[in-house]
Amino acid sequence: MSHPILPPKAPLLTRKGWGAFFAALIAVCALAPVLNLWVPEGSALHLSDYGVALVGKIMCYAIVALAMDLIWGYTGILSLGHGVFFALGGYVMGMYLMRQIGRDGNYKSDLPDFMVFLDWKTLPWHWALSDSFIATLVLVVAVPGVVAFVFGYFAFRSRIKGVYFSIITQAMTFAAMLLFFRNETGFGGNNGFTDFKRILGLPIATQGMRMTLFALTGCTLLGFFLFARWLVASKFGRVLQAIRDAETRVMFCGYNPLPYKLTIWVISAVMCGVAGALYVPQVGIINPGEMSTAASIEMAVWTAVGGRATLVGPILGAFLVNGAKSWLTVAAPEFWLYFLGALFIAVTLFLPDGVVGLWRRLARRKPTPVAAPLRESVAREAGQARSAPAVPAAQVTEAAR
């Protein structure tokens, strides 16, 4: 048996890529804190607290978009349930933050205010671990992970795919939202959790704490980016893309798609959970609205706008869409839904590869318009050999859509 000829492994990032990566790292960990904490308020360079909160929030969304990209862009499975995983991570963190309030709530009770309001005397069982920060960190990963594993195992085992999968994930989201809206479920009903006071015993509403969370989110995002980069370039990542492009053929080649799909599905869910856990202390509230079906579909559009099957794309998409959202919902609230709706239509009709795809098309067109398709086909022959990260975008086949 001859060994299959695999193209040489591409470096994790190109030299330019590493440059950009470290620039982003410095911007998040050093530049932003300096501009926010030490540059005086009147200065043009000052980064306002509002800006910190906004960018911090969007970075959480960017993690979600990245997770969405792994499952949709690279594996071809459109999930309309990622809002659930995001909210689960957020709720786990929220429970810890609620316990940190201690007796400083309105009712001066050991229990969170909403429980006093419901006249509960003891903590329900699922709050048992909410006092410990370590346990919370474990649960932030474990809860979305386990839920995703169970749901994914049964769904993928029955070979539910394509639109069917999207629709049942949407049903899951809807059911979860209804469940969390109930007061009796023990998650604060439709008000959710809010009014947090402390994290790890330190006050949560200070500038320093906000900046710490901001930098932490930024580092997490960049870390997940590198991880995703490594993942999609690995053999595992290649199988994922093969499943996306022709699942039946992958099966004929002797692969069982189930473990591959399940693994990436769980990874994606865990990333969402982590993003949710970072989101809650920064935004200061979590409620079942995060689980609405609309919220989950919006996540898909961040990825689509940026460009599926690219890794920079989703991050860019999250920033573009949410930046536009926070600007438009203030400047012209009645136009936001028109804009968002038009964005959904325009991206699917005109920008199948998102902003990144558009950028590549423009960049490619300039030098030699004729050579472009040729080069693309060469790249396809070579099996995504050269500049591995850049090419797959062009290869999202019709089947994957």
Residue 391 is which amino acid? V
Write the CA distances from 130 to 53, 113, 123, 203, 213, integer angstroms: 25, 15, 10, 18, 20
- When binding is defined by CB under 8 A, the residue of 207, 348, 368, 377 that contacts other proteins is 348
Choosing from 304, 311, 356, 391, the residue that interacts with other proteins (CB under 8 A) is 304
Residue 332 makes contact with other proteins by CB under 8 A: no
Q: Does 293 bind other proteins (CB under 8 A)?
A: yes
Q: Judged by CB, which is closer to other proteins: 138, or 342?
A: 342
State how far the Cα of 220 lies from the Cα of 18, in Å rounded to an integer. 16
Cβ pair 116, 107 in contact under 8 A: yes
CB of 53 or CB of 297, closer to other proteins: 297
Stretch that binds other proteins, among 19-27, 194-202, 271-279, 294-302 (CB under 8 A): 294-302
Count of residues touching other proteins (by CB under 8 A)? 44
- Restricting to residues 115-154, name those near other proteins by CB under 8 A: 154
- Nearer of residues 83 and 105 to other proteins, judged by Cβ: 83
Question: Quick check: 342 binds other proteins (CB under 8 A)?
Answer: yes
Looking at the DSSP assignment, which residues form a beta bridge with residue 285? Answer: 194
**Is residue 397 involved in binding other proteins (CB under 8 A)?**
no
CA distance 76 to 166: 11
Binding to other proteins by residue 341, rule CB under 8 A? yes
Residues in 217-276 that interact with other proteins by CB under 8 A: none
DSSP readout, 209-264?
HHHHHHHHHHHHHHHHHHHHHHHHHSHHHHHHHHHHH-HHHHHHTT--HHHHHHHH
Please state the closest distance from residue 174 (CB atom) to other proteins, in A.
Answer: 5
CA distance linking residue 180 with residue 187, whole number of Å: 6
C-alpha gyration radius of the chain: 22
Give the type of residue at 369. Answer: P
Query: Which residues of this protein are in contact with other proteins, per CB under 8 A?
Result: 72, 78, 154-155, 157-160, 162-164, 166-168, 170-172, 174-175, 178-179, 181-182, 293-294, 297, 300-301, 304, 334, 337-338, 340-345, 347-349, 352, 398, 401
